[in-house]
Amino acid sequence: MKINPLLIPLIALALFSCKEKKEAVKTEVSQSAVADTVAAMPPEELKTDTAAADEPENIKTEEPRAEPEVVSEDFTFSKFPSAHYKFVKKAKLDFSSDEGAYNFRTRIKDAYEAGTPNFASYYITVIFGCGASCIMGMMMDVRDGKIYGLPLGEETSCLFADDRAIFYPDSRLFIASICRESNEAENVYYHAFVWNEEKKVFEKVSEKDIK
């Protein structure tokens, strides 16, 4: 069968148009499949700062507390000065100087080894509990290692104490306790002592002497 030469260009054009339509349909299907695939993928998990996420929503900021009143300013420690002393080294502890000291030898040794004079120029103190509302303590002379009891214990303790065991390195005044009769009581009373360096004893003093 003879084909008319004029029909050849028309057939080629028809074939080319058909191919373009198929490629267009294929492209649309591919794009649609990609879109569907993206939509079907689960959302990516967002990484958050664990520390920030764990913080409570309502953070309470604590207001700064008022500074406590300095009780020691009520007393005239300068009325009972101790001699100037340049601390160099410590003598060996002498447990024979106080008959009760050996019962607290561990506390005394630890405080003596770690401390420097903090009362009346020459003495290192150690204070510890002795029951409810009770404290007791010792002081050690760095010059000769002798041990002395502090004026603490049941006799100077009180249930309602504002402060206890107030003392300074350059003064011989020792405030054992500042007491009240009750929490509501306005008036206070004191157990105050002065260290007599010559006699090596604590002497009780009255309120008028320490203010």
Structural domain including 105 reads 71-209
Backbone angles phi, psi at 70, to 5 degrees: -80, 100
Same domain for 125 and 35?
Answer: no
Return all residues near 133 (Cβ < 8 A) that are at least 6 apart: 157, 158, 159, 161
How high is the mean pLDDT of the chain?
A: 76
Same domain for 35 and 83?
Answer: no
Same domain for 15 and 98?
Answer: no
pLDDT for 17 equals 52
Same domain for 99 and 174?
Answer: yes
Give yes or no for a contact between 77 and 173, defined as CB atoms under 8 angstroms apart.
yes
Q: Is residue 63 assigned to a domain? A: no
pLDDT for 33 equals 41
The yes-or-no verdict on residue 47 having pLDDT over 60 is no
Q: Is residue 171 assigned to a domain? A: yes
pLDDT for 108 equals 97
pLDDT for 132 equals 74
Q: Which residue would you say has higher pLDDT here, 36 or 177?
A: 177
For the stretch 105-134, pLDDT in tens is 999 999 999 999 999 999 999 999 987 778
Q: Is residue 59 assigned to a domain? A: no
For residue 54 the two structure tokens come to 């764990």
Classify burial at 209, counting beta carbons within 10 Å of its beta carbon; exposed 0-12, middle 13-18, buried 19 or more.
middle
Same domain for 26 and 82?
Answer: no
What torsion do the CA atoms of 200, 205, 209, 211 make, to the nearest 10 degrees? 100
Q: Is residue 50 assigned to a domain? A: no
Q: Is residue 94 assigned to a domain? A: yes
Same domain for 137 and 92?
Answer: yes
Confidence bin at 7 (pLDDT 50/70/90): low
Same domain for 35 and 99?
Answer: no
Q: Which percentage of the chain shows pLDDT scores above 90?
A: 51
Same domain for 185 and 135?
Answer: yes
Q: How many domains does the chain have?
A: 2
pLDDT for 158 equals 87
The yes-or-no verdict on residue 11 having pLDDT over 90 is no
Q: Is residue 56 assigned to a domain? A: no
Q: Which residue would you say has higher pLDDT here, 73 or 69?
A: 73
Same domain for 163 and 76?
Answer: yes
Same domain for 165 and 116?
Answer: yes
pLDDT for 161 equals 86
Least confident of 59-68, 161-170, 181-190: 59-68
pLDDT for 63 equals 38
10 Å Cβ neighbour count for 116?
9
Same domain for 100 and 165?
Answer: yes
Partners of 180 in the β-ladder:
160
The yes-or-no verdict on residue 136 having pLDDT over 90 is yes
Same domain for 106 and 201?
Answer: yes
Q: Is residue 54 assigned to a domain? A: no
